[in-house]
Amino acid sequence: MPATASVSPTGDIRIDGLLSGIRWGVDTLTFSFPTSGSFYGSTYGNGEHLNNFEAFTPLQQDAIRTILKSYSEVTNLKFFEVTESSTVHGDLRYAESDSPSTAWAYYPSTSAAGGDAWFNNSKNWYDNPAKGNYAWLTMLHETGHALGLKHPHEARGSFGALSAEYDSLEYSVMSYRSFIGASTTSGYTNASTSYPQTLMMLDIAALQKMYGANFTTNAGDTVYKWNPATGEMSINGVGQGAPAGNKIFMTVWDGGGNDTYDFSAYSTNLSVDLNPGGWTTTSTTQLASLGSGKVAVGNIANALLFENNPASLIENVIGGSGNDRLIGNAADNTFVGGKGNDYIDGGAGQDTVIYTGLTSDYLRVEGSDGTWTITDQRSNGDGIDTLKNIEYLRFSDGVIALGGQTTPDQQPDQPVVVNAAPVAYADSYAAAKNTKLVVTAANGVLKNDFDADGDTLSATLVKGPAKGALSLKADGSFVYTPAKNFTGTVSFTYKASDGESTSATTTVTLVVGAAAAKGSKASKGAADHDHHVGDDQIPAPVSLTDKNADWLPFLLAKSKIAEFASASSGEHPKLALLADLMKSVEGLGGGQKHIKLHDFDDHGHGAAGLPDYMASAYSEFHLA
C-alpha cells in the first residue's frame, strides 16, 4: 500500500471541517473492481468480503471511473485501473457486501483495507448510479472518505465540525444534511434525481488542500453551456452526459483561460454570480428539490480559489432572453445580457457589456447612485438594462467608456471612444539587381495599414534586412540599397503606431532581381498573400493576381464604406463600387474567369483584432 501523510489545519473552517487529518502520501493511485472475495485475504477489515460479496457491474464500474476522473480534474491525483487478483491489488477497491447497512469506506491507510469502499448488496440501492441520483452521490461520498475527507458534522482530532451555514449537500457531498439545518440521523430527503452531480465547492477546496489544484483542467478558453430541457452541460460544444432528471446541481472548477458561461438557450430570469463560491440559477424547475419544501440555493456553484490564484475564475457570461441578474468578479468580465431588462454589476476589474445595435440605438443615462440605465430604443431589442461597475459598452459600431465623463443625470453627447490599435499588413516590393529601390510614402509600408479610429500612422523599424542597407522613414517611405550582385529575397520588419498603440510586428518582403516597376508593390509573384488598400481609388486591376490563387484582401477606408453593386460573372467580370469609389474592376486576363465577393465575417478577420463594426467595410476578391 502507498504511504500516507498527515494534514495540518488551515484555519479556514470551510476546509478544516472536511479534513480527517490523513491523506495519501503519493499523487498516483491504482483502483480495481475485485471479482472474488478471496482476493481480500482471510483477515481483511471487518469481514466484508465474507458477507454476501458481489462484484461491481459494468454500469457501476463506469460510474466509478467517471467519478475518479472528476477527482483528478480538480486535484493533482492520478488514478490507474488494475485488474484485481490474489497477487495484484488496487489501492482503492470497490465492491458490494451486506456488512454495511448503506455504504462505507476506509480512510487512507497502509493496512490492506485502506482506501477500500463497500456498498450494501441486498438492498439494490447502488445498482443503477446516474448523475444526480442517490447511488451516484454515495459513490462520490465514499470515494471522498477513501481519499481523506470526513463528515462535516463530526469532529476528528484537530479538525472540528463545519459551520452550520455550510453543512449541507449544497456545499459538500460528504454532508449528511440535505439542506442547511436538516437532521443528520433521519436520512436524506432529496427527490430521487436531486442529489449533487459533482464534487461541491468545499469538497474541492479540501481535496486541493491535501493534493493540490489541477490548473490544467480546461485551461484554455472554455465555453460552458447548459440545456434547459435536459440539464446537460456541454464544454466547448461537447456534451458531458445528461443527469438523471432535468436538474442541475453542480460545481465548476476551471483551470485557466478566458472562459464563458453561456445561458443563451434560456428564456428564464437568470441569476448569475461569477464570484468564487457564487451561485447561478438557470431555472427554478432545474433546482434540486431537497425535501421539506426546500430547494437548492442554486444550480451551478463556482469553485473557491486555490491559494488566491485567479486562474479558476470564469470571466464572461452570456445571458438569455429573460430579465437576468448578472454579477461579475475580480477579473475583466464581459457580459452579453441579451433580450430582457437586465441588471449587470461588473464588480472589480475592467468590465464590458456587449449590445447588438448601433451606439445611436441606445439612450444612456447615469443615475445619482452611479448606476447607468441603457435603453434600447429598437423594438424587440436588448431591453432596458441597469448597469453598475461597468467601464465599457460595446456596440456594433464601436466601444465607448462609461464613468468620469459627466455629471449625474447627464448623458454625454460624445462618449469617450476606446483607442483601437492599428493593424499592419505584410508588404512585398521588387528591386532590380544592383539598383537602389526608392519607395515614396504614397506607396510605402503604411499604405495598406489601417487604424479604426482614423488616426495618422507612423512606421518604426523593428529589424532591418540581412543583406543590403535600408532607411525607413516614419511616413512609411523607404530606400533600400541591395548588396552588390545580390539576387534573391530578404525582408525587414516594422510596427505601425497611431501615437497611442502599436500594431503587431509586420514583415516586408523585398525581392531583388524580380521584374517589376521600380518603387511599386510586387503583387504578382513572391508572396502567398498580397494586400491592397483602397482609399480614394482602387489599385490597378492587373495587380489583383496571385500565383497561388490565394485570398487578396481589399480594404475600404472607414470614410469610404460603400456597397458593391451586382455584376455579371462571365468571361469579363465587372464590379462597380458605389459612393466615392466609382471605379471598376474589369477585364482581368491570365485565365481568371470569376471574381467572387465574400463577406468579412465568413473569413475570420476578427482574429486580427479588428473591431466588429468594421465588418461591413471589408470584402475580398477571390480569383477562382
Q: Which of 362, 389, 417 is the last residue of a domain?
A: 417
For residue 86, what is its C-alpha cell? 490474489
Q: Report the 3 state secondary structure along 442-465.
A: HHCCCCCCECCCCCCCEEEEEECC
Distance of CA 393 to the CA centre of its chain: 21
Please indicate, yes or no, whether residues 391 and 274 belong to a single structural domain of this protein.
yes
Question: Model confidence over 273-289: pLDDT tens digits?
Answer: 999 999 999 999 999 99
- CB contact at 8 A, 330 and 276: no
Question: pTM for this structure?
Answer: 0.67
| Shared-domain flag, residues 588 and 519 | no
What count of Cα atoms within 13 Å lies in the side-chain half-sphere of residue 415?
22
Average pLDDT, the chain: 83
CA–CA separation, 427 and 409 (whole Å): 50
- Tell me, yes or no, whether 181 lies in a domain: no
pLDDT in tens, 229-238: 999 999 999 9
In a domain, 462, yes or no: yes
Is residue 139 in a domain? Answer: yes
**Same domain (yes/no): 558, 439:** no
Q: Which helix (H) or strand (E) holds 206?
A: helix 201-211
Domain final position from 527, 546, 579? 527
Q: Is residue 150 part of a domain?
A: yes
31, 145: one domain: yes
Between 454 and 372, residue with greater pLDDT: 372
Please check whether residues 404 and 448 belong to one and the same domain: no
Residue by residue, DSSP assigns 304-319 as PPBTTBGGG---EEE-
- 502 class by beta-carbon count within 10 Å (0-12 exposed, 13-18 middle, 19+ buried): middle
Question: Are 513 and 613 members of one domain?
Answer: no
- CATH number for the domain including 120? 3.40.390.10
Is position 121 within any domain?
yes
Q: Are residues 426 and 548 in the same domain?
A: no
Domain end residue (candidates: 492, 527, 562): 527
Question: Any catalytic annotation for residue 142?
Answer: yes
Q: Which of 48, 73, 96, 142 is catalytic?
A: 142
pLDDT tens-digit readout, 286-299: 999 999 999 999 99
Residue linked to cell 461588473: 346
* Average confidence (pLDDT) over 348-365: 96
Residues 315 and 355 in one domain: yes
Q: Which residues contact 446 (CB under 8 A, 6 or more apart)?
A: 424, 457, 458, 459, 475, 476, 496
Q: What is the DSSP letter of 136?
A: H
Q: How many structural domains are present in the chain?
A: 4
Q: Are 261 and 222 found together in one domain?
A: yes
CA neighbor of 331 nearest in space, from 253, 257, 234: 257
Q: Is a pLDDT exceeding 70 seen at residue 154?
A: yes
Q: Is residue 172 situated within a structural domain?
A: no
DSSP E strand stretches across 517-589: 532-534, 551-556, 574-576, 584-586
Judgement on whether residues 509 and 389 belong to the same structural domain of the protein: no
Q: What's 488's domain CATH number?
A: 2.60.40.10
Closest alpha carbon to 108 in 146, 155, 74, 165: 146
Q: pLDDT tens for residues 51-94? A: 999 999 999 999 999 999 999 999 999 999 999 999 999 999 99
Among 30-34, 444-448, 460-464, which stretch is predicted with the lowest mean pLDDT? 444-448
The per-type count for the chain, helices as H runs and strands as E runs, is: 4, 41
pLDDT at 426: 83
Pair 498, 566 in one domain? no
- Same domain for 399 and 352, yes or no, is yes
Q: Is the pLDDT of residue 183 over 50?
A: yes
Residues in the chain: 624
Strands 271-273 and 279-281: antiparallel
Handedness of CA 588, 592, 597, 602 (dihedral sign): negative
On whether residue 124 sits in a domain, the answer given is: yes
**Measuring CA to CA, which residue among 297, 324, 302 is closest to residue 314?**
302
Residue 169 belongs to some domain of the structure: no
What domain range is 561 assigned to?
531-624
Contacts for 187 with CB less than 8 Å, ≥ 6 apart: none
Closest CA to 507 of 452, 463, 443: 463
Check: CB of residue 218 under 8 Å from CB of residue 255: yes
Beta bridge partners of 399: 394
